[in-house]
């Protein structure tokens, strides 16, 4: 499974290396392409006074059944660099050979701090922490990560017929869940096609690898509707159907 992560990291490194003089425009943080990816954290935050609500219904097909959840998160820009988040999963369901269990899921808090536009190609670096407090019978989870994002030029890879701004990202973190601690790496690119954004992620941890293509529709500055298909290359989850419904306001 490591070969998929290696290929993803090599591709992202090549994309970052080509981002200099060939980039069409400098996007910078105020014009970030996406508010949220499907399985990865971006290096961008809400600016001061900006708010957004994110709901991300997700269906996972696992070895002996399926999992479904509807997490909801409210994020707020305390300053132009500091973002806080508070969330809950109002409904989750696990169905397997042992039966079906459903109800309210975990509470979640998050904090992210970003350093913006560190070079001429709009390099952003962010550090973040999320904590899910376990309700009865559920697992707690904590994540500590650093994420990098940068404007890039995809012409050397996909040709100039695909006009649009692009950004690449790399996230490195560690996850604590159910008494175990392990690293994870997420990397990929996304391409702005006007109202639609095409994205591709490679998501690795010590217990799974996903290849995650996705598309997001942005009909206005306030709304984003995304659909992703994480394909399990290893681990218990064969495939997921991931979605994002996001509303931004000031």
Q: How many CB atoms lie within 10 A of CB 104?
A: 13
Average pLDDT taken over every residue of the chain: 84
Q: What percent of the chain has pLDDT over 70?
A: 81
Is the pLDDT score of 237 beyond 70?
Answer: no
CATH of domain 2-249: 2.40.160.40
Give per-residue pLDDT as tens, 52-88. 999 999 999 877 889 999 999 999 999 999 999 999 9
Taking each continuous run of H as one helix and of E as one strand, the counts in the chain are 2, 17
CA distance between the termini of the chain: 43
Q: What pTM value is reported for the model?
A: 0.84
| Closest-CA residue to 158 (of 18, 36, 28) | 18
Residue 201 CA to residue 143 CA, distance in Å, equals 18
What's residue 61's pLDDT? 86
Q: Where are the domains of the chain?
A: 2-249
* Residue 37, φ and ψ in degrees, nearest 5: -90, -175
């Amino acid at each position: 499974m490591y070969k998929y992560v290696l290929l993803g990291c090599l591709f992202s490194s090549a994309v970052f290396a080509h981002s200099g003089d060939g980039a069409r425009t400098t996007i910078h943080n105020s014009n970030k392409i996406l508010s949220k990816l499907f399985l990865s954290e971006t290096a961008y935050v809400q600016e001061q006074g900006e708010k957004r609500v994110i709901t991300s219904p997700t269906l996972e097909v696992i070895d002996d059944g399926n999992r479904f959840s509807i997490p909801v998160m409210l994020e707020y820009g305390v300053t132009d660099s500091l973002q806080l988040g508070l969330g809950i999963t109002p409904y989750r369901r696990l169905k397997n050979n042992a039966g079906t269990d459903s109800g309210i899921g975990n509470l979640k808090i998050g904090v992210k701090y970003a350093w913006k536009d560190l070079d001429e190609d709009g390099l952003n670096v962010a550090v973040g922490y999320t904590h899910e407090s376990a309700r009865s019978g559920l697992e707690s989870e904590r994540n500590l990560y650093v994420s990098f994002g940068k404007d890039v030029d995809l012409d050397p890879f996909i040709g100039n017929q695909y006009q649009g701004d692009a950004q690449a990202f790399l996230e490195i973190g560690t996850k604590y869940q159910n008494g175990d601690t392990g690293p994870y790496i997420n990397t990929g690119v996304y391409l702005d096609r006007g109202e639609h954004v095409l994205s591709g992620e490679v998501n690795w941890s010590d217990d799974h690898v996903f290849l995650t293509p996705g598309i997001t529709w942005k009909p206005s500055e306030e709304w984003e509707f995304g659909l992703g298909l994480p394909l399990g290359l290893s681990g218990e989850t064969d495939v997921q159907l991931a979605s994002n419904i996001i509303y931004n306001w000031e």
